[in-house]
Amino acid sequence: MADSDHSRLSVALVDVNEGGEAEFLTLARTFASLILRKGYGRAETIRDEALPQRYYVVRHWATASAAEQCHSDTDVQAVTAKLYQIARITHVVNGARRADQLRLLMDDRRARAEADRRAGFDRRGKNQGRATGERRNGGDRRLGPRRLRDHPGEIDLIGAARRAREFADAAFSHFKVGAALEAADGTVVSGCNIENATYGLTICAERVAMFKALSEGHRAFTRIAIVADTAAPTPPCGACRQVLWEFGGNLEILLANLKEEKGKHQLKDLLPLPFDARLL
The answer to whether residues 203 and 179 touch, using CB atoms and an 8 Å cutoff, is no
3-state secondary structure 194-228: ECCCCHHHCECHHHHHHHHHHHCCCCCEEEEEEEE
**Residue 270: strand, helix, or coil:** helix
| Residues annotated as part of the active site | 206
The answer to whether residues 241 and 214 touch, using CB atoms and an 8 Å cutoff, is no
| Nearest in space to 69 (alpha carbons), one of 33, 32, 96 | 96
d(CA 41, CA 102) in angstroms, rounded, equals 29
